[in-house]
Chain A
Amino acid sequence: MSSLLDFEKPIAELEGKVKELRHLADGSDLDLGEEIARLEGRASKLLSSTYGKLTPWQKAQVARHADRPHFVDYVKALITDYTPLAGDRCFGDDHAILGGLGRFKGRAVVVMGHEKGRETEDRVHHNFGMARPEGYRKAVRLMKLAERFRLPVVTLVDTPGAHPGIRAEERGQAEAIARSIATCLELTVPIVSVIVGEGGSGGAIALATADRVLMLEHSIYSVISPEGCAAILWRSASQAETAAEALKMTAQDLLGLGLIDEIIVEPLGGAHRGRSTTIESVGNAIERHLEAMDGVAPADIRHRRREKYLHMGRELE
């Protein structure tokens, strides 16, 4: 793991010791098997106890972990015949939202999502997953393409939020997000959306107004980042941890509030410790939800999606 979260350090220490002992045992006749097993046991226990009770703030760290699978990883593993499509036909091609045509488990789909990038240069190229108006307008174009050709839409959400900037405002950032949400609600083809990392505010719901919204176990979805919320309401960014609690931004909280439909379990220790397992689980969940909507009449798909959102927040359990 290239980057270690603070609360993962004790686990990493134990794992480091195991590695050391292994190395020692390799080069000598010493029988360290028992000691290694003991330490391994402790490490995995610590891992499961840590990840079993992550605080919302810790989950925010995990959700933003650079080693979590990204849009490009999901596409590579789950989509064949991937044909990226580019541009808003207006101003530019946004690299924070990627998308195109492809085949998901045999069926033709339109797939799109935020890409944060991983290495420094890559992150700049993708603007850290913060889309400008062009990104949402590309998303709208692809959704309309899906509608025209009766293709289901799969979206993967992973963004700190929409890009804040002068030019983005001038080109109608808000209008672009609004139009994207509206288009999601107009479609008569199925939309399945998965929050795979960070679901940052308007920039997230622009792609996640869907028939089924699934969240990875340690992902977050919120109206504002905990840091932003703390700065505004607590007038101190250092209160981010408190804000994270208060915002109820975890998958578990949101399922409880009835705002999302399902939680996809992550491997022990988070998606960054088992990328291929995570991708597989996400793929299976998407497939299951798409299959459940096979054969539903187009008008019903749209009607049910609208009803679902209209119902939200009307009553609390």
Chain B
Amino acid sequence: MNWLTSYVRPRFQALVRSTGKTEVPENLWHQCPSCERMIFHRDLEGNQRVCPHCSHHMRVGPDYRFASLFDEGSWTRIELPKAPVDPLKFRDSKRYTDRLKEAQAKTKTQDALEAAHGRVGDLPAVIAVMNFDFMAGSMGAGLGEAFVTAARLAVLQEAAFIVVTSSGGARMQEGTVSLMQMARTTIAVEEVKEAGLPYIVILTDPTTGGVTASFAMLGDIHIAEPGAVIGFAGARVIEQTIRETLPEGFQKAEYLLEHGMVDMVVHRFELKETLARVLGLLREPLRGAEPAATTEPAADDFSVPTEAMADATDD
């Protein structure tokens, strides 16, 4: 139960820490942040972490996405490269390196993006998932490098590249270096497209700032989860700047659909089926066309040789 370790346990620990008490029963219930009703943890788990009362889609992490989007048992996590950290020797109230260490300890991962390769609807796919629990899914050099690596693996495997976004934007602690990741991730997207492979973005709550303004808006197909906040500038910033009340549902997935930014808003229950259907349609060869020069790699070719990984990240 990945969600148990990634969500319930930290919450539980936080609760215990904050109250100083150890009331176990309390921990078995979650309050929906949208309708504020209480949900029994097993009900939440059985409902893919969608509120059974109001359908609010709660945040889920990479493990959850891999397990729910890949064909069962078909996926393997990709080891991502280590990028140099703290280029600016940044510190606010805390050192950036300390914040990073905290986040790494909390999530047991290196940065805010994780990736795996496997099959979706029996077609090869690399899925990269942003982890909002890691410094609000912010994008720095580490994430950029991980993104490039995952995209290049997709090219190498002739696999679709699927990205599940959730991010507060660029990582301020890396200054302009983080800004450059908008360009670097865009190059990775272009490489996938130039290879004729599908690049699909699944936008989840929240996707904002520099991530939206780069790889999250460049998909062949954009799928959003219901109610997800998706935008560039934060709603509060906009409101304070223009001193106007924002329209109903502003920056919600449904609002973006009406404003031409996403192809569809899909309930979490239907996400995997939709993804498999879209990939099946996009990857069907044109009738009577010459067979492609390179054949699809066999299933056992999917383990990536380490040299290939190194090649993919070095140039």
Q: Which residues of A are in contact with B by a Cβ distance under 8 Å?
A: 81, 83-93, 101-103, 107-108, 134, 138, 145, 148-152, 189, 290-291, 294-296
Partner of B286, one of A88, A101, A138, A189: A189
| Cβ contact within 8 Å between B258 and A93 | yes
Q: Are the CB atoms of B260 and A88 closer together than 8 Å?
A: yes
Once bound together, how far apart are the Cα atoms of A311 and B220, in whole Å?
35
Q: Which of B45-53, B64-72, B166-174, B274-282 contacts A (4 or more CB under 8 A)?
A: B274-282
Taking a contact as CB atoms under 8 Å apart, the answer to whether B257 and A149 are in contact is: no
In the bound complex, CA of A102 to CA of B284 (Å): 11
Please determine whether B289 and A101 come into contact, CB atoms closer than 8 angstroms: no
Give 29 pairs: A residue, B residue, CB < 8 Å, sorted on A: A83-B264, A84-B263, A85-B263, A86-B257, A86-B262, A86-B263, A87-B257, A87-B262, A89-B261, A91-B259, A92-B259, A93-B257, A93-B258, A93-B259, A101-B282, A102-B281, A103-B281, A107-B284, A108-B280, A108-B284, A145-B220, A145-B282, A148-B193, A149-B196, A149-B283, A150-B286, A152-B286, A295-B288, A296-B288
Question: Who on chain B is nearest to A93 by CB?
Answer: B260
Per the bound structure, the CA–CA distance linking A294 and B284 in Å amounts to: 14
Q: Is B61 among interface residues, defined by CB-CB distance under 8 A? A: no
B140 on interface, CB distance cutoff 8 Å: no
B287 CB, nearest partner CB in chain A, Å: 5
Contact of A149 among B217, B260, B282, B288 (CB under 8 A): B282
B217 x A89 contact (CB < 8 A):
yes
With A103-B281, A295-B289 known as contacts, the answer to whether A148 contacts B260 (CB < 8 A) is no
The CA-CA distance from A92 to B257 in the complex, in Å, is 8
Q: How far is the CB of B159 from chain A (nearest CB, A)?
A: 14
B285→A150 contact, CB < 8 A: yes
Given contacts A83-B277, A83-B278, contact A134 B289 (CB under 8 A): no
Please measure, in the bound complex, the distance between the C-alpha atom of A134 and the C-alpha atom of B282, giving whole angstroms: 23
Q: Does residue B198 face the partner (Cβ distance < 8 Å to A)?
A: yes
Q: In the bound complex, do residue A83 and residue B274 qualify as a contact, i.e. CB atoms below 8 Å apart?
A: yes
Measured CA separation A150–B288 after assembly (Å): 11
Give Cα A134 to B278, complex, Å. 23
Residues of chain B within 8 A (CB-CB) of A150 are 285-286, 289
* Interfacial residues, chain B to chain A (CB-CB below 8 A): 193, 196, 198, 217, 220-222, 257-264, 274, 277-278, 280-289
**A282 → chain B, closest Cβ, in Å?**
20
B286, A151: Cβ atoms closer than 8 Å:
yes
By a CB distance below 8 angstroms, the chain B residues around A149 are: 196, 198, 220, 282-283
The minimal Cβ–Cβ distance linking A148 to chain B, given in whole angstroms, is 7
Among A108, A134, A138, A294, point to the contact of B288 (Cβ < 8 A).
Answer: A294
Kindly list chain A residues whose C-beta atoms are within 8 Å of the C-beta of B196.
148-149
CA distance A93 to B264 in the complex (A): 11
Q: How far is the CB of B111 from chain A (nearest CB, A)?
A: 28
Given the known inter-chain contacts A83-B274, A295-B289, please indicate yes or no for A91 contacting B260, CB distance below 8 A.
Answer: yes
Q: Which residues of A contact B264 (CB under 8 A)?
A: 83-86
Which residues of A sit under 8 angstroms from B281, Cβ to Cβ? 81, 83, 101-103, 108, 151
Contacts of B287 in A (CB 8 A): 107, 290-291, 294-295
Contacts of A101 in B (CB 8 A): 278, 281-282
A294 neighbours in B (Cβ, 8 Å):
287-288
**Chain B residues with Cβ under 8 A from A93's Cβ?**
257-260
- Taking a contact as CB atoms under 8 Å apart, the answer to whether B220 and A87 are in contact is no
Question: How near does chain B come to A101, taking the closest CB pair, in angstroms?
Answer: 4
* Closest CB in chain A relative to B277 CB, distance in Å: 6
A107 to B283 Cα, complex, angstroms: 11
Residues of chain A with a CB closer than 8 A to B221's CB: 85
Contact yes or no, A92 B258, CB < 8 A: yes
User: By CB atoms of chain B within 10 A, which of A87, A88, A145, A294 has the most?
Assistant: A87
Interchain nearest-CB distance for A187 vs B (Å):
12
For the complex with contacts A81-B277, A108-B280, 20 further pairs of A-B residues with Cβ separation under 8 Å are A81-B281, A83-B274, A83-B281, A84-B263, A86-B257, A86-B263, A86-B264, A87-B260, A87-B262, A89-B260, A93-B260, A101-B281, A108-B281, A108-B282, A148-B193, A149-B220, A149-B283, A151-B284, A294-B287, A296-B288
Closest chain B residue, CB of each to CB of A108? B284
Q: With a CB–CB cut-off of 8 A, which chain B residues contact A148?
A: 193, 196, 220
In the complex, A85 Cα to B264 Cα: how many Å?
7
CA distance A88 to B261 in the complex (A): 7
Q: Which residue of A lies closest to B263 (CB)?
A: A85
- Minimum CB–CB distance from B38 to chain A (whole Å) comes to 36
B214 to chain A, nearest CB (A): 14
Q: How far is the CB of A28 from chain B (nearest CB, A)?
A: 57
Which residue of chain A is the closest to B257 with respect to CB atoms?
Answer: A86
- Chain B residue with Cβ nearest A91: B260
Q: Tell me, in angstroms, the Cα distance from A148 to B281 when the chains sit together.
A: 12
- Chain B residue nearest in CB terms to A294: B288
Bound-state CA distance A238–B264 (Å) is 45
Interface centre among B222, B259, B280, B285 (most CB of A within 10 A): B259
